[in-house]
Amino acid sequence: MATAPLTLTLDDGRTWSFDAVTRIQEPRRATVTRHPIEDGRQFADHASVLPFQYVIRAGVTESPFSDNVFDQEVGPARIAAADEFLRAALGQRVTVVLPGAADPVLEDYVLSEATAERGIAKGRQYVLRLDQVQVASTTFITIPVEQSFLEEEDGGDQVGEDTSDDEQDEEEDGSILYEIIYGDEKDDS
């Protein structure tokens, strides 16, 4: 059984196999900061590598070349089914399998563009742009609050305002915060 030269699999498990890959581009990009200085020249002090991107030109025919078609239709309906699959995949995370490539399996990519072109007899050629997704990890940091901070009083009253209710509310809020941080035990010293 021959393997398809390109398959895309969505997170929900739907998979599409393409019949041919005619071009793979792997542009590697970086951005460089540019700051003009007094004489008008640009000063660059930092560069960062952008996420990877692949541009793949792949074809779908009415009669697939491989047996690995994942229950796809055969005949003219296959082209319409390919269009429908790519519309559903646009903007979605996909797993890409390119047998024989340097990186045969690409995970964490999003199909950011899918352009259909005519040119294959009884088929269609697509230009697919896949952008790498890089997720930053989140971390929670607990910041300890000292008791002296909670016990400080606001010394600045507005002239002519009665702040007794506000100060009582602040004291209650402070004691609630103290209980949240240190528990129900209060230090009466």
Q: 134-155, pLDDT tens digit by residue?
A: 777 777 777 766 665 555 555 5
Look at residue 1 in the predicted model and tell me its pLDDT: 38
- Segment 111-128 shows an average pLDDT of 86
- Looking at the chain, the whole-number percentage of residues with pLDDT higher than 70 is 70
pTM above 0.85, yes or no: no
Instruction: Say if residue 93 is in the same domain as residue 126.
Output: yes
What is the Cα 55 distance to its own chain's centre?
18
Instruction: Say if residue 156 is in the same domain as residue 94.
Output: no
| Boundaries of domain holding 178 | 147-182
Look at residue 44 in the predicted model and tell me its pLDDT: 75
Question: In Å, what is the CA distance from 105 to each residue of 5, 40, 95, 100, 134?
Answer: 12, 46, 7, 10, 16
Tell whether 12 is covered by a domain. Answer: yes
Tell whether 177 is covered by a domain. Answer: yes
Tell whether 187 is covered by a domain. Answer: no
Tell whether 99 is covered by a domain. Answer: yes
**pLDDT top residue among 42 and 90:** 90
Q: Look at the chain and report how many structural domains it folds into.
A: 2
Look at residue 163 in the predicted model and tell me its pLDDT: 52
Instruction: Say if residue 115 is in the same domain as residue 175.
Output: no
Instruction: Say if residue 98 is in the same domain as residue 126.
Output: yes
- Average pLDDT score, the chain: 77
- Segment 102-129 shows an average pLDDT of 86
Q: What is the CATH number of the domain that holds 104?
A: 2.40.30.200
Look at residue 93 in the predicted model and tell me its pLDDT: 92
Instruction: Say if residue 177 is in the same domain as residue 109.
Output: no
Instruction: Say if residue 29 is in the same domain as residue 119.
Output: yes
